[in-house]
Chains A and B, each alone.
Chain A
Amino acid sequence: MKEYLKNTWLGIYTVLVGMKVTISHLFKPKVTIQYPDVRVKLPERARNRLYVNIDDCIGCDQCSRACPVDCITIETVKAVPGEDLGTTSNGKRKALWVTKFDIDIAKCCYCGLCVYPCPTECIWMTDVYEFSEYNRDNLIYHFSNLTPEEAEQKKLNYQKFEEEKARQKAAVQAVNNPNKQDSGNLS
């Protein structure tokens, strides 16, 4: 009987306690952040969309090799003598045309591993995190600042230069060892 009355009392009392708690929440400040209108400030080291400052990139391919999911594709072409590519902002001389610098951000796992090895600090995480697309292909970002034609041109230039060099070499060889058979370019 005592147990029974105690249960009754507890039942009523605990309900009242609960009601007090809930009603007190009516007057508490709301925690909702109305996202598209109000944005939370991101932590300083938040990892979101990658950005590459291609002007500083020396095409060393280190970022691509660091990437665990292989989502960075880099193609480079050597510059021919006479072409001046300038220097990066921290004074490194650029020697390669970066003809292709694609990041498939759809594959990216935002690990940030590509950011650290870069010698010129030209690949980094931005604070952009809203970049959904209707077409998956649009998630492949092209960072190279050369148009396909220009890239083609650079490749051609380099090929020509190589051929030129090979021919010159052959010519030099022919001059130096006139009796030797032309045994190719193996010098």
Chain B
Amino acid sequence: MIPDYLAEFFGNKFIGYLIAAALPLFLWILPYALYAVYAERKVSAFMQDRIGPNRVGPKGLFQTIADILKLIQKEDIVPASADKPLFVMAPYVIFAGTFAAFAALPFSSIYIGSNINLGVFYIMAVSSFSVVGILMAGWAGNNKYSLYGAMRSVAQIVSYEVPALLAIVSAVMVIGSLNLNEISEMQTAYFWNWWIFGGPVVGIKKFLLIIPMTIAFIIFFIASLAEVNRTPFDIPEAESELVAGFHTEYTGMKFAMFFLAEYGNMFVVSAISVSIFFGGWQSPFGYLGNSLGISWLIPVEQVFWFLFKGSLLVLVQMWLRWTLPRLRVDQLMTVCWKYLTPYAFINLVLIGIITLF
């Protein structure tokens, strides 16, 4: 495990763990967010038959870097009537929630920030921490639209947590572990051992599990879209109604922080889906390192597969965003309470019955 290795290398547990904790931030979140924004713009452009950014660098690859450089130079405006401490703190609170979730993500068999037994539970808990940040941001900006966005966001995230957790619980009932690293390890070898395909269970049970697991995944995926405020559930930041929702009053780097957090969150929820349903860091068809006999290649491949699968799900989120229109508030609540939650419950019971045998 890399954290232990680093701790040994520096002769100090604290420094080692600190550096290990910062690794995903610098090696993944920042570059990923930069290129996720780029991908989002390209995907939206392609879906609308446009070209998208193509001026800065080859194919516009440096567009978001230029944007960030621009945002850094912007004046940092705090509105005169804003609640200053809350206003300044909010972006960091939101980002902290996102970043904290990365601690329990198993990037590879040798790297997981914190190999805790309650991984899934922990991530679900800290990622809803961002609700506090959103409410802070909306309230502190002293702008009616921000507050409106924040209120909607809170209502939305709190209600969608129910089907999301029910879906996760039903999956965890089969899996029997909350440790994401362990969950990933179970789905070893080939993709038919992924939990969405019934996992490494043998016999008829495996086939019985496929449908409930798929339903669980779909429910979790829809609910997670709502939790990261993506279209069709983007009413908290509905541009056409609320300017930009809770981050209307923010400028410069604080604004960029919100974006970083949003894209970070997208990856976190995708990573949870990947770890639980799609084999985590396991390769779908065996490892190149194994067949070539290069043992150090395996963890690298695992990192690749994990990030690849996560990014793929992020792309699906973008795909959905540019496909669907925004739901109304009442429709949002209908989808959550009248559809997702009952289905999640039925699914839970179904999986419970299947696991009995």
Taking Cβ atoms with an 8 Å cutoff, the residues of A that contact B are 7-8, 11, 15, 18-19, 21-23, 25-26, 28-32, 34
Contact = CB atoms under 8 A, between A and B. Distances in A.
Kindly name the residue among B319, B335, B343 whose own CB sees the greatest number of chain A CB atoms within 10 A: B319
A32 B46 CA distance: 10
Given A8-B339, A23-B319, A15 B51 contact: no
Given A30-B51, A31-B49, A32-B51, A19 B319 contact: yes
Interface of B: 43, 46-51, 319-320, 322-324, 335, 339, 343
Contacts of A25: 46-49
Contacts of A15: 320, 323-324
A21 B323 contact: yes
Nearest to A8: B339
A7 B43 CA distance: 29
Nearest to B42: A26
Nearest to B342: A4
Contacts of A23: 47, 319
Contacts of B46: 25-26, 30
Contacts of B343: 8
26 contacts: A7-B339, A8-B339, A8-B343, A11-B335, A11-B339, A15-B323, A18-B324, A19-B320, A19-B323, A21-B323, A22-B319, A22-B322, A22-B323, A23-B47, A23-B319, A25-B46, A25-B47, A25-B48, A26-B43, A26-B47, A28-B49, A30-B49, A31-B50, A32-B49, A32-B51, A34-B51
B238 to A, nearest CB: 19
A19 B316 CA distance: 10
Nearest to B55: A34
B340 to A, nearest CB: 10
A21 B319 CA distance: 11
Interface of A is mostly: helix
Contacts of A21: 323
Contacts of B335: 11
A32 B323 contact: no
Contacts of A18: 323-324
Contacts of A22: 47, 319, 322-323
A187 B319 CA distance: 91
Contacts of A30: 46, 49-51
Given A8-B343, A18-B323, 11 more contacts: A15-B320, A18-B324, A19-B320, A21-B323, A22-B47, A25-B48, A30-B46, A30-B49, A31-B49, A31-B50, A34-B51
A21 B46 CA distance: 12
A-B pairs with the 8 shortest C-beta distances? Answer: A18-B323, A22-B323, A32-B51, A22-B47, A26-B46, A31-B49, A25-B47, A32-B50
Contacts of B48: 25
B280 to A, nearest CB: 25
Nearest to A31: B49
A5 B49 CA distance: 35
Nearest to B316: A19
Contacts of A7: 339
A28 B319 CA distance: 16
A99 B46 CA distance: 57
Kindly name the residue among B324, B335, B343 whose own CB sees the greatest number of chain A CB atoms within 10 A: B324
Nearest to B322: A22
Contacts of B47: 22-23, 25-26
A153 B319 CA distance: 74
A118 B14 CA distance: 89
A23 B339 CA distance: 27
Nearest to A19: B323
Contacts of B50: 30-32
Contacts of B339: 7-8, 11
Nearest to A28: B49
A12 B319 CA distance: 15
Contacts of B322: 22
A124 B323 CA distance: 48
Contacts of B320: 15, 19
Nearest to B334: A7
B62 to A, nearest CB: 18
Nearest to A27: B46
